[in-house]
Amino acid sequence: MRAKGRYHNSFNFAIGLRAAPAHPLLMSPLPPAKDTPDFDEPPSKSQRKRDMNALQDIGAELVGLNDQQLASVELPESLRDAVQEARRLHPHEARRRQLQYIGKLMRDIDPAPIRAKLDGWLSASAEHTARQHHIERWRERLLADPQAVSEFVAEFPGTDTQRLRTLIRNTEQERARGKPPKHFRALFQMIRELTEARDRDGHTPA
């Protein structure tokens, strides 16, 4: 009789479990997981080294400027003093350490305006160099090929052809006699003046 009671109670307990309503927390869906906030990864060691080398390169360019150029660049006093000190150093190792110091100082400022200023000078220097080479190539052509005179006059219609031929002839003579290159330089000057005059009129050098 006792066993039957135990069986009856167990059966009622099992029925009760099945009939009992589920807990509200179990019935409701789990809240969506919150997105993990995005964090910028810190720069790698190699990236930090590249950034530091780039700053040192800018520092080296500052050291190579002339007095007038350096005076026109806005720099903190500590950085300007460090650049001036590097200009006075000649031993390789001492200058290398000073450039590293300059690179560290530049981490505290925005290097973009300095880089833009340096790039402007580099662009002007490259343009000047290209112009010089253009003039030198014309001079060598005029001295090497008599037909080049006609081509030159066609490109520079305002050329004083008689003066040009005289300068070519005198240059050839001074070369043959081993004299100082007086007419050689004068020929360069004439070509440069004609090139600059054409550029002022808005023409592009050939």
The whole-number mean pLDDT for each consecutive block of 10 residues of the chain, a chain of 206 residues, reads: 48 46 47 51 75 82 85 88 86 81 88 86 82 91 92 92 95 91 92 87 54
Distances (CA, A) of 153 to 19, 33, 66, 147, 165: 110, 80, 39, 11, 11
Question: What is the residue type of 196?
Answer: E
Residues 105 and 138 occupy one common structural domain: no
Structurally, the chain folds into a number of domains equal to 2
Residues 195 and 132 occupy one common structural domain: yes
Decide if 39 is inside a domain: no
Decide if 168 is inside a domain: yes
- Is there a contact between 171 and 183 (Cβ–Cβ < 8 Å)? yes
pLDDT at 71: 87
Residues 195 and 166 occupy one common structural domain: yes
Decide if 162 is inside a domain: yes
pLDDT at 89: 82
pTM (two decimals): 0.47
Which residue range forms the structural domain that includes residue 135?
A: 128-200
Task: Give the Cα separation of 162 and 169 in Å (integer).
Answer: 11
pLDDT at 164: 95
Return the SS3 of 75: coil
Q: What is the CATH number of the domain that holds 93?
A: 1.10.60.30
Decide if 1 is inside a domain: no
